[in-house]
Structure 1
Amino acid sequence: MAAITPGLAGHKGLRGEILLELKRAQPLTANELADVFRVSANAIRRHLKELEAEGLVLYERQQRGTGAPTHSFRLSPSGEALFPTRYGEALTDVLAFIAQHNGREAVREMFAHQFRAEAERLRVELAEASLEDKVAAVVDLLSRQGFMAAWSVEQDTLKLAQHNCAVRAAAEQFPEICAAEVDFLRAVLDTHVQRDAYIPDGCNACEYSITLADISGSPAADNGQSREES
């Protein structure tokens, strides 16, 4: 399902779309971007050259299979900075202060409390919703918070991806934020959720697999295994 993506001030049209696509799936070649947008590779290269001149993209030579090396493009630090962040260094400083004076457990409990309250609100709001509708609601919430979330269905599993970490600076120092997010997803969706990729580890997105099952109150919930819906 399509992500709800942020607007990039000053970068509309194809230039803005190139930046968004690089955020989702970097590194990408000009030919790969041309395939995505169904325009010529030369048109893409012109935009990439302009974005490089502005300091928003970088390129590197990559060897992909046989043949000559190709240029792959990714966002520069300035390009990454175009995407939403929530509080940035201020949040990190506040968390460091709390950890120093009250311990890391206080940081964990603060985020656990925040996510529990949000999860309870959504559980009430989505009590009669299907799992797919619950995931769509979570994706909408995360996207409005700047996480560029999207979801899709692959066989018996739902996939949720966050292509931007709006609290990355804090999350890299305080993984308690990310642990609380996983618990939040499990509480709202009431099924097994597994994290498959993690932005602080260098991945392009934080990705989750969501089993199409309801483990609430089932025997499988006691032994950590989910059961499929009939």
Structure 2
Amino acid sequence: MRVASKNAEAPGSGRDRVLFLLKRDGPQATAQVAQQLGVTAMAVRQHLSVLYGEGLVEFSDEQRKIGRPARIWRLTPKANARFPDHHAGLAVEMLQVVQSTFGEEGLERLTDGWTRKQVAAYRAQMPRQDLPLDQRVAALVRIRCEEGFMAECRPAQDGTIELVENHCAIAKAAHFCTRLCGGELTLFREVLGDGVTVERVEHFLAGDRRCTYRILANPSAS
């Protein structure tokens, strides 16, 4: 199972599509990017050369057992500005005003209220909780994609489900107020229903390139 909404498909221009793939799938060699885009390696190298000049990508040469080192490309922090961060400046300013006016307690009340509002909005879009867990996770992925998180889900080897968010659409606000990240965990647990465990195993704010969640049904709850 691998689900992503239409909003998560690569945009039109060649350079934007290269950026999208590096954002969604992480560091890659030129040949990998070319294969996914269905173009020549030369075309991808031309795009990467321009993006490198703009400071949006960087590379490292990785040694291989046989042959020449492989050049692996990745996004720079500057490239994150090319992806949506919903009303970033306004959100941070409002959080700062709440904190300065009402203190940490006021900020906590605000974020808790925001989480409750999200739970209600998501539940209105989620399928019945008696449906299989993978269908509920797929529905959650579609909602997150619509909000700009470049989400996808897939089965893991241990039988759990991985929900991956390749972009944080609220990164600036989350850096200022980490309670928003805790609210996301609460949100996922609430909308996926009783008897479901959700754990964050990769975290953008902790230095990972994305957020990844491990989701499983709790047998003791059945």
TM range (shorter): 0.7 to 0.9
Q: Which runs of 5+ in 1 are unaligned?
A: 214-225
Amino acid at match of 2:211: C
Pairing partner for 2:206 from 201, 209, 226: 201
Amino acid at match of 1:137: A
Q: Distance between the aligned counterparts of 1:169 and 1:97, measured in 2? A: 15
> After superposition, where does 1:49-198 map in structure 2 within 5 Å?
49-53=49-53, 55=54, 57-66=56-65, 68-123=68-123, 125-128=126-129, 129-155=131-157, 156-190=159-193, 191-198=196-203
Write the deviation string for residues 178-220 of structure 1: whole angstroms up to 9, x where unpaired: 0000011011112100001011122121000000x1xxxxxxx
- Would the aligned equivalents of 2:3 and 2:138 in 1 still touch at CA under 8 Å? no
Q: Distance between the aligned counterparts of 2:101 and 2:120, measured in 1? A: 29
Q: Distance between the aligned counterparts of 2:146 and 2:55, measured in 1? A: 24
- Worse-superposed segment, 15-24 or 56-65: 56-65
Amino acid at match of 2:56: V
Q: Distance between the aligned counterparts of 1:7 and 1:25, measured in 2? A: 12
Q: Could you state the TM-score of these two structures normalised by the residue count of structure 1?
A: 0.80
| Aligned position for 1:22 | 22
Amino acid at match of 1:196: V
How many equivalent pairs are there?
214
Shift of 1:97: 1.7
Q: Could you state the TM-score of these two structures normalised by the residue count of structure 2?
A: 0.83
Shift of 1:121: 4.5
SS at match of 1:126: coil
Amino acid at match of 1:33: V
Q: Distance between the aligned counterparts of 1:118 and 1:189, measured in 2? A: 13
Q: Which runs of 5+ in 2 are unaligned?
A: none
- Would the aligned equivalents of 2:164 and 2:211 in 1 still touch at CA under 8 Å? yes
Q: Distance between the aligned counterparts of 1:35 and 1:169, measured in 2? A: 33
| Identity, % of aligned positions | 27
Amino acid at match of 1:202: G
Amino acid at match of 1:136: A
| Aligned position for 1:227 | 219
| Aligned position for 1:34 | 34
- Seen in structure 2, the aligned counterparts of structure 1 residues 122 and 130 have a Cα distance that, compared at 3 Å, is farther
- Seen in structure 2, the aligned counterparts of structure 1 residues 127 and 7 have a Cα distance that, compared at 3 Å, is closer
- Worse-superposed segment, 152-161 or 40-49: 40-49
Q: Distance between the aligned counterparts of 1:61 and 1:198, measured in 2? A: 23
| Aligned position for 1:218 | none
- Would the aligned equivalents of 2:197 and 2:215 in 1 still touch at CA under 8 Å? yes
Shift of 1:13: 4.5
Write the deviation string for residues 11-53 of structure 1: whole angstroms up to 9, x where unpaired: 6254332111111133222123234335432222122123334
RMSD: 2.5
- Would the aligned equivalents of 2:57 and 2:79 in 1 still touch at CA under 8 Å? no
Q: Distance between the aligned counterparts of 1:68 and 1:141, measured in 2? A: 43
Amino acid at match of 2:197: H
SS at match of 1:81: helix
